[in-house]
Amino acid sequence: MGELQEKYLNTNGIATHYWEIGSGEAMILLHGGGAGADAFGNWSRIMPKFAETGFRVIAFDAVGFGKSNKPDPQRFEYNLNARVDQLISLIRSLELDNVTLIGNSMGGATSLRAAKQQPELVQRLILMGTAGRLKQAQKSDRNHEFPGFRLYGRFVCVYALFPESLSSFVCTRQIHSG
């Protein structure tokens, strides 16, 4: 399995910092937003566990976060599209396909949009506290007909991937919660 390796990659002109461990099917972890958010802080403790289950685990710093480039905001638009472009470029630059994306908060919104734009690149999509909201026109009793909701049917839930890890996490949370 090895140790966490720190690397850089050019993604559409952005020096993208990332961590990698393991071999096998690719799993990409996307961190949330907020002050001090980065791949290492969000994912470093669980990356070796995912690698032990047979994955090549990659966690990168989104543009403007961690050790990735922070372009001049006068010349660069920091938004969801920029993060999606960075993710898709990372997947293609590393010559990956059928990846598992796990997105936390802002990373969940990025993962979801990337999966919708390039579904052929994504095998599984796991969302955690995903950022974003539906427009008022999309809120109805017929949400199941909204195209974004139909997208979910193509992906497998985390429960089938890591039952031991999940049950351990749930038990730990219950113990610490009182």
pLDDT tens, position by position, 79-122: 999 999 999 999 999 999 999 999 999 999 999 999 999 999 99
In one letter, which amino acid is 162?
A: F
Q: Which two tokens stand for residue 104?
A: 């936390």
Number of residues that make up the chain: 178
pLDDT: which is higher, 163 or 65: 65
Give the C-alpha separation, 158 to 107, whole Å: 16
Average pLDDT across the chain, whole number: 81
User: CA 93 → CA 8, 50, 171, distances in Å?
Assistant: 11, 22, 39
Residue 136 has pLDDT above 70, yes or no: no
Q: Which two tokens stand for residue 151?
A: 């997208």
Helix, strand, coil proportions of the chain in percent (round to 5)? 40, 20, 35
Q: Which CATH architecture has domain 5-177?
A: 3-Layer(aba) Sandwich (3.40)
Tell me the average pLDDT across 118-129: 90
Position 26 confidence tier, pLDDT thresholds 50, 70, 90: very high
* Six-digit token string for 128: 């955690």
| For range 127-131, the mean pLDDT | 81
Domain boundaries, the chain: 5-177
Is 154's pLDDT higher than 50? no
Do 25 and 55 contact (CB within 8 A), yes or no? yes
